[in-house]
Each structure stands twice: as structure tokens, then as C-alpha cells.
Amino acid sequence: MNTRPALVRSIPFWALIVASLASLAYGVSLVTDKIAVMTVTLTEGTATGVEVYVGQSIALLGSILIGVGVLGLLIALAIAAASTLRAHPPVEVVEPIDWDNQDEVAVDAPAPAAYEPAPVDEVVEPVTEAEPVVVAETADEVIVAEPAEPAAEQANGAESSKS
């Protein structure tokens, strides 16, 4: 019996945690990079409109990603807390096996079965191409398939019919 809770084995739960951490890390890297570039260029007086105005927009996007990452981690924490409120079945206590006692024999283990091939009721002869084959038998009639003509004869017959 598996004693680990189902949440530990839940792929969507772990995907939520990984995606939240990735969003958080990427947001932090965007914000720190753009704020650092804006600070340096503004203090030196070499700032352009792209560095200032576009940098603000990208820093805002980074802060949104940070918020999404934090929110995802809080949701994962709430799911983990809610999963502890479920009732879990009690763990069965099994007595340990006494490996030193030679008198005990495993009673539940079945003996391995010997391999025996299945009995063959009748031998079926291979069908040659010249013999008719019985396709189906009903109470009223027997349906027989006629043997097919060889491919060479069919090709010759097709050529002669075209002439």
C-alpha cells in the first residue's frame, strides 16, 4: 500500500509549482535588468527614449510576471493545505517476517504451473490453389470459393480482350 499522499504524485500540482517559479524568476530578471539599465543611463545623461519609455513597459511586464509567480505559489500552498484536510485510510500494520524461522512456509504462494501445450484435435491440411475452398456452410447450402487464376493467365486474358 502506498502511504504517500496523492498530492506528491500529482503532475498538475508540480507543473503549477514549476511554472510559478519560472514566471517569478523571469520576472525578477526582467525587472532587475531594465531598472539597472535605466538607472545607469539616466545618471550618466545618455538615456534615450527607448531605454526610458520601453524600459518602463518591460519593467512593468516583469512585475506582472513576479505577481503571477507569487500568486501561483500561494495557490499551490493552498492546495497543499487543503489536501491535508482529506481523510486518509489508516495504515495497516503488518508483523515483520521472521527470516530465521525455517518452519514457516508461505501458504499463499501458488506452485508454478508446468507448461503443457494445448491438445490438437485435428490436423488441417494446407489448401492448394487448384482446389475449391469451402467458405461457409449453412443448413441449406454450401458456399464454395473457386480458385483464382494465376496472374500470368489473367494478364494474357486481359490483353486478348483488348484486341
pLDDT at residue 92 tops 90: no
Is the pLDDT higher at 104 or at 76? 76
Q: How far apart are CA 100 and CA 31, in angstroms?
A: 66
Q: Is 0.75 surpassed by the pTM of this model?
A: no
Tell me the mean pLDDT in the region 136-149. Answer: 63
Q: What is the pLDDT of residues 56-78, one digit of tens each?
A: 999 999 999 999 999 999 999 99
* 42-46, 67-71, 114-118, 148-152: which is most confident: 67-71
CB 24 within 8 Å of CB 73: yes
User: Distance of alpha carbon 8 from its chain centroid, rounded?
Assistant: 17
> Mean pLDDT for the chain?
78
**What gap in Å lies between CA 37 and CA 47, rounded to an integer?**
9
Tell me the one-letter amino acid at 70: V
Contact 31, 59 (CB under 8 A): yes
pLDDT in tens, 145-159: 665 565 555 555 555
The residue ranking higher by pLDDT, 121 or 43, is 43
Query: Scanning the structure block, which residue is given the C-alpha cell 538615456?
Result: 47
**Cell numbers describing residue 152:** 500470368
DSSP secondary structure string, 14-83?
Answer: HHHHHHHHHHHHHHHHHHHHHHHHHHHHHHHT---HIIIIIHHHHHHHHHHHHHHHHHHHHHHHHHHHHH
**Region 130-146 average pLDDT:** 62
Calpha distance 155→12 (Å, rounded): 63
- Rounded CA-CA distance 141/132 in Å is 15
